[in-house]
Structure 1
């Protein structure tokens, strides 16, 4: 039953990671690769030089970078004889060269492997995040996506009907 489920029952122990000194382009590539395997993998764990959790780059982080660099590019706002494809390509090039550390979400919801599923749900709801990092003893063990929690919760709900 749901009350017996723990974070380690739902976590993905294979998850996307990048180093803190990576470029935004690298984080985008890693997230796209991860999403090709599982579309709900919309968060990449960022590790520091010591291999410890530095934060997370989420799909929202990347979209904020796009908004900041691509959508605000003056060439894209001009009307007339603008080469839109070239302007977009230039803006995207600028975006992918941005430093990753400007977009790392450092206030990361962290749960312990033995935390009950209802506590994980509480983290999602209170922090308004769709993922949480599972960590124990300073070691990142996995990540839980809201889709993972949903599958576990609804599996038990359906069995009750």
Structure 2
């Protein structure tokens, strides 16, 4: 049964997406809202103006972006007196106005809906990511999360014993 599973058996069709011209703050907001519906989801699909895939913004790329903004704050000084409230406020303001553009991950793992479980496992292993996109006819139709693959594997393996 396990080897009959396909990418479409595991994908989420209710993924979140955002336009490539959005700000970092908008990306963070969209991801947070998406995680309310699916707590394991840690990516936002980024689309070009024409609706084609540009890439993704992951939790990790957002952490890095926010970290870069905080660490660049001239008020942040770990060796002396630091006005943390002021530094955080400035970092928050910078996050709101920062472009999403430089934080988009364009090296994206993509499946076809009919890709079998073995292909899914191989791509997850090679890419070392916890997510991949499912594309059909040039359009993103879903997201597969590593946690979904694990659930399918463990469900079928447990029934074998």
TM-score normalised over the length of structure 1: 0.95
Structure 1 residues not aligned, in runs of 5+:
none
Equivalent in the alignment of 2:101: 101
Q: Deviations over 1:51-70 (max 9, x none)?
A: 01110000011011012111
Q: Do the aligned residues in 1 keep the contact of 2:110 with 2:134 (CA within 8 Å)? A: yes
- State the alpha-carbon separation in 2 of the partners of residues 160 and 73 from structure 1: 56
For the 8 Å contact 1:70–1:95, the answer to whether it is kept is no
Give the C-alpha shift of residue 139 in structure 1. Answer: 0.9
SS state of the match for residue 71, structure 2?
coil
1: CA distance between counterparts of 2:17 and 2:83? 36
CA distance in 2, matches of 1:37, 1:77: 38
Indicate the SS of the match to 1:105: coil
In the alignment of these two chains, the number of paired residues is 160
Structure 2 runs not aligned, ≥5 long:
none
Question: CA contact under 8 A between 1:43 and 1:58: conserved in structure 2?
Answer: yes
Whether the aligned pair in 1 keeps the contact of 2:73 and 2:90 (CA below 8 Å) is no
Q: Quick check: 2:70–2:87 contact (8 Å CA) kept in 1?
A: no
Q: Which residue of 1 is the match for residue 75 of structure 2?
A: 75
1:137 Cα deviation (Å)?
A: 1.3
Q: How does 1:23-102 map to 2 (within 5 A)?
A: 23-77=23-77, 79-80=80-81, 82-102=82-102
Match of 1:146 in 2: 146
- What's the C-alpha RMSD, in Å, of the aligned pairs? 1.1
- State the 1:43 CA deviation: 0.3
Q: Distance in 2 between matches of 1:44 and 1:100?
A: 11
- Partners of 1:57 and 1:104 within 8 A in 2: yes
The DSSP-based 3-state class of the residue aligned with 1:157 is helix
Deviation at 1:86?
A: 1.9
Query: TM-score when scaled to structure 2?
Result: 0.95
Q: What is the rounded CA distance, in whole Å, between the counterparts of 1:95 and 1:60 in structure 2?
A: 15
